[in-house]
Structure 1
Amino acid sequence: MKASDIREFSREELQARLLEVKKNIFNLKFQKASGQLDDLMKIKNLKRDVAKIETVLREKELGIVVKVTEKEKPVKKSKPGSSRTKQKAAKTDEKKVKEETVKDK
């Protein structure tokens, strides 16, 4: 569950979901103790969900508005004399030539 998805819920929905997740953790702990639980990552993921939900509840309580923006990945600059750079430049030149020939037709 992503934090951006959690922020869309109201306080009542978040509190209900928090109670539900905590009950799931409780049941999974019993399954773990009795040896019935195969995937231990379920407990870890649910604990993370609890933390996310509690964080969003606290943000709403304090009136904090979090704006989610997607960050662009920085372009890695390679060394000017490397052969890899020359190969990339050659490929982009070939693509430009192909695009121009397609546009001309």
Structure 2
Amino acid sequence: MTFPKISDVTKMDNSSLAEEILVIKRVLFDLRLKRATRQDFQPHLFKHSKHRLAQLLTVEKSRSKPAT
């Protein structure tokens, strides 16, 4: 599984960007819950989800920053 490209994130509009951030945060929560309760999970999904969340938050922050 390859990491998603930042160009995919920059093409999103603001509402879908905010929605995707909530989805990824929920996925990370579920992964942490599975790890804590010793259920089966795929450990590589932590890295992929955190990478995706960082991309989404970076684009969101750059859009909300006023132009100087």
TM-score when scaled to structure 1? 0.56
Give, in whole Å, the separation in 2 of the partners of 1:16 and 1:36.
Answer: 27
Count of residues paired in the alignment: 64
Structure label with greater radius of gyration: 1
Flag structure 1 segments of 5+ consecutive residues without an equivalent.
65-105
Query: Structure 2: which amino acid aligns with 1:32?
Result: R
Contact residue 31 and residue 41 of structure 2 kept, 8 A: no
Distance (whole Å) between structure 2 residues aligned to residue 63 and residue 6 of structure 1: 20
Percent of aligned positions that are identical: 23
Calculate the aligned-residue CA RMSD, in Å. 1.5
Partner in structure 1 of residue 18 of structure 2: 15
Decide which of 32, 36, 55 is 2:58's aligned counterpart: 55
- CA–CA separation in structure 2 for the residues paired with 1:23 and 1:45: 14
Gap regions ≥5 residues in structure 2: none
